[in-house]
């Protein structure tokens, strides 16, 4: 699919027929398959294996990956459209899809050897296996370079010890891209990335996080106890891990921005319908100017988010040819869209009153799910820091 067909020139955001097709396919799948199970998996916190497997079979788990590596051969615009549609129905499915696509597939595609792509990217992009990305540790979240886990080289392999936390999909992942220290004295330049197989001795899962939202997306600690990984499973060179982690997060943040857009739209559309139906003081509540202003603010922020996301998606597409970074575009999209999701979900609960607070409607789920988009893959504070540093030339 040629990028040139989707062009912002002349401010014409008309989507190509292929983009319309993927959007429709994602919307149909989410409407028929995910909508009916979303509340159940939110309540139980179980992992939605069946729907994720079906999404894999349809190509949603490796949308931008070339055919020879098991992917759907689409572009970033297609990815953001699909993420938005899936997340609009259920943000948990969006999280699982986003991590698999933009953290794991993107990392393996851009930094993996041919053998690594064949062994790991193919099963993950085709949805047969599930991938995860592990950067955070109990004592290093935003300060990602300050990690305590270690990998020590021993001949043709490395021995890994330590504990990582907040790993999305860890409870179900077959393979994990792990960032750990091989040379602590070099600080972030001493971080190295590895591809971890989770069925090997020395690997175990720690506590599962009891989360406020995106409850169907499984999250846990992972623990390494003298885990041996072959040097062939090192992703990139020794010391390149931090740059790989950051580069991959640039892609990941576009996915989270699209997830946030989906949540915001769901909250907005529920509010619109409710305001057109619900009556108070002898009229539809949509007649009240105080609530109309909420609709205006929600809609404006949603459309502004969409533009920032499309801008970031196009910058990432350009980067495939030029290698140019799109860090600022990605951070701006994530920052604005996640704050929009939280704003819209907050307004939606208020507009619905008691019904917004009830589990009988999905509005309270949008509110709980929206919050994570301001936290994971870099908090809003980190996004502001990244944008400002880049603007000031402080990188």
> Binding to ligand CAA by residue 243, rule CB under 6 A?
yes
Three-state DSSP at 151 gives: strand
- Nearer CB in complex with ligand CAA: 232/381: 381
> Binding to ligand CAA by residue 203, rule CB under 6 A?
no
- Phi first, then psi: give them for residue 44, nearest 5 degrees: -85, -25
The minimum distance between CB 225 and ligand CAA, in angstroms, equals 21
Reported for 283-291, long-range contacts at CB under 8 A and 24+ positions apart, including other chains, are 285/351, 291/351
Contacts of 204 (CB under 8 A, 6+ apart): 222, 223, 225
Cα-Cα end-to-end distance for the chain: 34
Side-chain-facing half-sphere of 183: CA atoms under 13 Å? 11
> Binding to ligand CAA by residue 16, rule CB under 6 A?
no
The minimum distance between CB 270 and ligand CAA, in angstroms, equals 26
Separation between Cα atoms, residue 245 and residue 189, nearest integer Å = 12
- Nearer CB in complex with ligand CAA: 256/348: 256
Nearest to 108 by CA among 180, 197, 176: 176
Separation between Cα atoms, residue 327 and residue 360, nearest integer Å = 40
Separation between Cα atoms, residue 57 and residue 71, nearest integer Å = 10
> Binding to ligand CAA by residue 47, rule CB under 6 A?
no
Token pair 């990815």 is found at: 79
Cα 229 to its chain centre, rounded Å, is 27
Considering only residues 347 through 386, tell me which ones interact with ligand CAA, judged by CB under 6 A: 376-378, 382, 385-386
- Nearer CB in complex with ligand CAA: 249/267: 249
Considering only residues 247 through 266, tell me which ones interact with ligand CAA, judged by CB under 6 A: 247, 249-250
Size of residue set near ligand CAA by CB under 6 A: 26
> Binding to ligand CAA by residue 101, rule CB under 6 A?
no
In DSSP terms, 222 is beta-bridged to: 164, 205
Choose the binding region for ligand CAA from 111-119, 165-173, 229-237, 341-349 (rule: CB under 6 A). Answer: 165-173
Three-state DSSP at 49 gives: helix
Catalytic: which of 238, 265, 329, 377?
Answer: 377
Separation between Cα atoms, residue 289 and residue 186, nearest integer Å = 59
> Binding to ligand CAA by residue 246, rule CB under 6 A?
yes
Separation between Cα atoms, residue 123 and residue 24, nearest integer Å = 25
**Roughly what angle, to the nearest 10 degrees, separates helices 289-322 and 327-352?**
160
The minimum distance between CB 251 and ligand CAA, in angstroms, equals 10
Considering only residues 169 through 188, tell me which ones interact with ligand CAA, judged by CB under 6 A: 188
Considering only residues 110 through 139, tell me which ones interact with ligand CAA, judged by CB under 6 A: 133, 135-136
- Of the residues 120, 175, 179, 242, which one makes contact with ligand CAA according to CB under 6 A: 242
- Nearer CB in complex with ligand CAA: 138/284: 138
Nearest to 98 by CA among 220, 261, 255, 249: 255
> Binding to ligand CAA by residue 205, rule CB under 6 A?
no
Q: Is 265 a catalytic residue?
A: no
Choose the binding region for ligand CAA from 14-22, 66-74, 141-149, 203-211 (rule: CB under 6 A). Answer: 141-149
Cβ proximity of 157 and 145 under 8 Å:
no
> Binding to ligand CAA by residue 325, rule CB under 6 A?
yes
> Binding to ligand CAA by residue 144, rule CB under 6 A?
yes
The minimum distance between CB 281 and ligand CAA, in angstroms, equals 45
> Binding to ligand CAA by residue 328, rule CB under 6 A?
no
- Nearer CB in complex with ligand CAA: 75/329: 329
- Contact residues: ligand CAA, CB under 6 A: 99, 133, 135-136, 142, 144-145, 166-168, 188, 242-243, 246-247, 249-250, 325, 327, 376-378, 382, 385-386, 395
Q: Catalytic positions, please?
A: 377
């Amino acid at each position: 699919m040629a990028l040139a067909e989707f062009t912002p020139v002349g401010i014409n955001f008309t989507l190509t027929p292929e983009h319309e097709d993927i959007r429709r396919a994602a919307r149909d799948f989410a409407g028929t398959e995910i909508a009916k199970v979303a509340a159940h998996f939110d309540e139980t916190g179980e992992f939605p294996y069946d729907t994720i497997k079906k999404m894999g079979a349809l190509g949603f788990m490796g949308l931008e990956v070339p055919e020879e590596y098991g992917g759907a051969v689409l572009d970033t615009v297609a990815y953001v459209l699909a993420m938005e549609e899936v997340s609009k129905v259920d943000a948990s499915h969006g999280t699982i899809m986003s991590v698999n696509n933009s953290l794991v597939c993107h990392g393996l595609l851009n930094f993996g050897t041919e053998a690594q792509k064949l062994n790991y990217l193919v099963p993950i992009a085709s949805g047969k296996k599930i991938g995860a990305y592990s950067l955070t540790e109990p004592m290093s979240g935003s300060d990602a370079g300050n990690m305590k886990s270690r990998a020590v080289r021993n001949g043709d392999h490395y021995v890994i010890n330590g504990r990582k936390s907040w790993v999305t999909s860890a409870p179900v992942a077959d393979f994990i891209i792990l960032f750990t220290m091989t040379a602590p004295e070099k600080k972030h330049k001493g971080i190295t990335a590895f591809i971890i197989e989770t069925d090997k001795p020395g690997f175990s899962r720690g506590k599962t996080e009891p989360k406020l939202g995106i409850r169907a997306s499984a999250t846990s600690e992972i623990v390494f106890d003298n885990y041996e990984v072959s040097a062939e499973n090192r992703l990139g060179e020794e010391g390149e891990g931090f740059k790989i982690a950051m580069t991959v997060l640039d892609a990941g943040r576009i996915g989270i921005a699209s997830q946030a857009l989906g949540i915001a739209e769901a909250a907005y559309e529920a509010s619109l319908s409710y305001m057109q139906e619900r009556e108070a003081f002898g009229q539809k509540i949509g007649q009240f100017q105080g609530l109309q202003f909420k609709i205006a603010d929600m809609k404006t922020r949603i459309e502004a988010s969409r533009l920032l996301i499309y801008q970031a998606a196009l910058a990432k597409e350009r980067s495939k040819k030029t290698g140019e970074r799109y860090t600022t575009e990605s951070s701006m999209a994530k920052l604005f869209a996640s704050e929009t999701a939280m704003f819209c979900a907050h307004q939606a609960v208020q507009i619905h009153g008691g019904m917004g607070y009830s589990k009988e409607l999905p509005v309270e789920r949008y509110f709980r799910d929206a919050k994570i988009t301001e936290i994971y893959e870099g908090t809003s504070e980190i996004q502001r820091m990244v944008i400002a540093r880049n603007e000031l030339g402080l990188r």
